[in-house]
Amino acid sequence: MMKRDKKEEEEGGANPFYNLEKSSVLQEARTFNETPINTRKCCHILTKILYLINQGEHIGTMEATETFFAMTKLFQSKDLTLRRMVYLCIKEMAYIAEDVIIVTSCLTKDMTGREDQFRAPAIRALCRITDTTMLQSIERYMKQAIVDKVHSVSSAALTSSLHLAKTSPDVVKRWVNEAQEAVNSDNIMVQHHALGLLYHIRKNDKLAVTKLVNKYTRHSLKSPYAYCLLIRIACKLLEEDNAGPMFEFIESCLRHKSEMVIYEAAHAIVNMKNTTAKELAPAVSVLQLFCSSPKPTLRFAAVRTLNKVAMKHPAAVTACNLDLENLITDVNRSIATLAITTLLKTGSESSVDRLMKQISSFMSEISDEFKIVVVQAIRSLCLKFPRKHSIMMTFLSSMLRDEGGFEYKRAIVDTIIGILEENSEAKEAGLAHLCEFIEDCEHTVLATRILHLLGKEGPRTPQPAKYIRFIYNRVILEDAPVRAAAVSALAKFGAHCDELLPSIMVLLQRVQLDMDDEVRDRATFYLNILAQHQKALNSAFILNSLQVSIVGLERALHHYTMEPTETPFDLKSVPLATQPLQELSKPIMEASSGPKSTEKAAASRQDVYAEQLASVPELANLGPLFKSSSLPVELTESETEYMVRCIKHTFPHHLVFQFDCTNTLNDQVLENVTVQMENTDDFEVIRSVPAASLVYEKPGTTYTLVRLPEDPTQVTTTFTCTLKFIVKDCDPNTGEADEEGYEDEYVLEDLEVTVSDHVQKVVKPNFAASWEEVGASNELEDTYALASMKSIDEAVKSIIQFMGLQACERSDKVPDDKSSHTLYLAGVFRGGHDVLVRAKLAFSEGVTMQITVRSTDAYASEVLASAVG
Partner 1 sequence: MGFLSAFASWLGMKKKDVNVVVLGLDNSGKTTIITKLKPAEARTQDIVPTVGFNVEKFQTKALAFTAFDMSGQGRYRNLWEHYYRECHGVIFVIDSSDKLRMMVAKDELTLMLENADIKMKRIPILFFANKMDVRDSLSSVKCSNMLELEKIRDKPWHICNSNALTGEGLEEGINWLTDQVKDILTQKKK
Positions touching ligand GTP (CB under 6 A) are 205, 207-208, 211
Whose Cβ is closer to partner 1: residue 34's or residue 736's? 34
- Choosing from 99, 634, 682, 697, the residue that interacts with partner 1 (CB under 8 A) is 99
Paired strand residues for 843: 847
Closer to partner 1 by CB, 33 or 679: give it.
33
When asked if residue 69 is in the footprint of partner 1 (CB under 8 A), the reply is yes
Residue 134 binds which of ligand GTP, partner 1, none (CB < 5-8 A, kind-dependent)? partner 1
Based on CB atoms, which residue is closest to ligand GTP, 211 or 810? 211
Taking the CB of residue 331, how many other CB atoms lie within 10 A of it?
7
Q: Which does 362 bind (CB under 5 to 8 A by kind): ligand GTP, partner 1, none?
A: none
Find which of ligand GTP, partner 1, none residue 584 binds, CB within 5 to 8 Å per kind: none
Smallest separation (angstroms) from ligand GTP to the CB of 792: 47
Q: Say which entry of partner 1, ligand GTP, none residue 634 contacts (CB below 5 to 8 A, set by partner kind).
A: none
The residues facing 235 across adjacent strands are none
- Whether the CB-CB separation of 162 and 179 falls below 8 Å is answered with no
**Euclidean distance between CA atoms 238 and 213, whole angstroms:** 12
Q: What is residue 673's DSSP assignment?
A: E
Q: Dihedral of CA 504/505/510/515: which sign?
A: positive
> Whose Cβ is closer to partner 1: residue 74's or residue 230's?
74
Complex with ligand GTP: residue 211 or 533, whichever CB lies closer: 211
Q: Nearest approach, Cβ of 30 to partner 1 (angstroms)?
A: 10
Cα-flanking dihedrals φ and ψ of residue 252, to 5°? -65, -25
Residue 853 has a CB neighbour count (10 Å cut-off) of: 25
Which of 142, 759 has the CB closer to partner 1?
A: 142
Q: Which of 25, 46, 106, 759 binds partner 1 (CB under 8 A)?
A: 106
Q: Does 109 participate in binding partner 1 (rule CB under 8 A)?
A: yes
- Select from partner 1, ligand GTP, none the partner in contact with residue 208, using the beta carbon and a kind-dependent cut-off of 5 to 8 Å: ligand GTP
CB of 190 to partner 1, least distance (A): 24
Give yes or no for residue 62 binding partner 1 (CB under 8 A): no
Kindly state the smallest distance separating residue 212's Cβ from ligand GTP, in Å: 9
**252 near partner 1, rule: CB under 8 A:** no
The string of DSSP letters for 139-186 reads HHHHHHHHT-SSHHHHHHHHHHHHHHHHH-HHHHHTTHHHHHHHHT-S
205 interacts with, out of partner 1, ligand GTP, none, CB within 5 to 8 A per kind = ligand GTP
Q: Is 362 in the site for partner 1 (CB under 8 A)?
A: no
For residues 98 and 590, which CB has a smaller minimum distance to partner 1 in the complex? 98
Q: How far is the CB of 112 from ligand GTP (least distance, A)?
A: 16
Q: Which of 25, 48, 108, 302 binds partner 1 (CB under 8 A)?
A: 108
Question: Which of these segments, 85-93, 99-107, 430-438, 677-685, binds partner 1 (CB under 8 A)?
Answer: 99-107
Q: Cβ 224 to ligand GTP, closest distance in Å?
A: 27
CA 294 vs CA 224, 327, 329: distances in Å:
21, 12, 14
Mark residues 128-147: x for contact with partner 1 by CB under 8 A, - for none.
------x--x----------
Residue 618: name its binding partner from ligand GTP, partner 1, none (Cβ under 5 to 8 Å by kind).
none
List the single partner that 810 binds among partner 1, ligand GTP, none, CB under 5 to 8 Å by kind: none
Closest CA to 352 of 377, 317, 372, 318: 377
Q: Cα separations (Å) of 213 from 204, 232, 258?
A: 14, 10, 19
Among 20, 94, 102, 550, binds partner 1 (CB under 8 A): 102
**Dihedral, 158, 159, 163, 166 alpha carbons, nearest 10:** 50
101 binds partner 1 (CB under 8 A): yes
Nearest to 441, CA basis, from 415, 467, 414, 477: 477
What are the residues facing 191 on neighbouring strands?
none
Q: Which is nearer to partner 1, 49 or 807 (CB)?
A: 49
Please identify, using beta-carbon distances, which residue of 68 and 609 lies nearer to partner 1: 68
Q: Do the bridges between strand 700-707 and strand 759-761 make them parallel or antiparallel, or are there none, so unpaired? A: unpaired
**For residue 507, which of 459, 544, 468, 552 has the smallest C-alpha distance?**
468
CA–CA distance, 633 with 648 (Å, rounded to integer)? 9
Nearer to ligand GTP, 104 or 258 (CB): 104
22 vs 236, which CB is nearer to ligand GTP?
A: 236
Site for partner 1 in 720-779 (CB under 8 A): none
Footprint (CB under 8 A) of partner 1, residues 76-95: 76
Whole-angstrom CA distances from 43 to 80, 111, 222, 576 are: 11, 21, 40, 56
For residue 113, state whether it binds partner 1 (rule: CB under 8 A). yes
Residue range at the interface with partner 1 (CB under 8 A); choices 100-108, 193-201, 292-300, 320-328: 100-108
Shorter beta-carbon distance to ligand GTP: residue 21 or 205: 205
Q: Give, to the nearest 10 degrees, the angle between helix 80-93 and helix 61-72.
A: 160
Q: Is 15 near partner 1 (CB under 8 A)?
A: no
Q: Which among 421, 454, 459, 424 has a CA at the least distance from the CA of 437? A: 454
Q: Measured from the CB of residue 115, what is the shortest distance to partner 1 in angstroms?
A: 11
Is omega for the bond preceding 245 within 30 degrees of 0, making it cis?
A: no
How far from 413 is each of 375, 382, 398, 487, CA to CA, in Å? 10, 14, 12, 21
Taking the complex as a whole, the smallest distance from the CB of residue 108 to partner 1 amounts, in Å, to: 7
Among partner 1, ligand GTP, none, what does residue 811 contact (CB within 5–8 Å per kind)?
none
Binding mask 22-61 for partner 1 (x = CB under 8 A): -----------xxxx-------------------------
Q: Contacts from 284-292 at CB under 8 Å and sequence distance 24+? A: 284/313, 284/316, 284/317, 284/319, 284/320, 286/254, 286/262, 287/320, 288/319, 288/320, 288/323, 290/259, 290/263, 290/266, 291/320, 291/323, 291/324, 291/326, 291/327, 292/323, 292/326
540 DSSP assignment: I
Least gap, CB of 206 to ligand GTP (angstroms): 8
Closer CB to partner 1, residue 138 or residue 182? 138
Our CB check for partner 1 shows the closer of 32 and 263 to be 32
Ordered DSSP codes for 272-327: -SS--HHHHHHHHHHHHHHHT-S-HHHHHHHHHHHHHHTTT-HHHHHTTHHHHHHH
Q: Please, are residues 317 and 310 in contact by the beta-carbon 8 Å criterion?
A: yes
Q: Which of 82, 90, 93, 103 binds partner 1 (CB under 8 A)?
A: 103
Cβ proximity of 249 and 234 under 8 Å: yes
Contacts of 318 (CB under 8 A, 6+ apart): 346
Count of residues touching partner 1 (by CB under 8 A): 23
Binds 99: which of ligand GTP, partner 1, none (CB < 5-8 Å by kind): partner 1
Minimum distance from CB of 41 to partner 1 (Å)?
16
Closer by beta carbon to partner 1, 34 or else 618: 34
Which residues, in sequence order, are CB contacts of 561 under 8 Å at separation 6+?
none
The residue type of 27 is Q
- Considering beta carbons, is residue 164 or 303 the nearer one to partner 1? 164
Smaller CB separation from partner 1, 10 or 98: 98
What CA–CA distance (Å, rounded) separates 626 from 650? 5
Stretch of 102-110, 352-360, 407-415, 489-497 contacting partner 1, by CB under 8 A? 102-110
Q: Which residues bind partner 1 (CB under 8 A)?
A: 33-36, 69, 72-73, 75-76, 99, 101-106, 108-109, 112-114, 134, 137
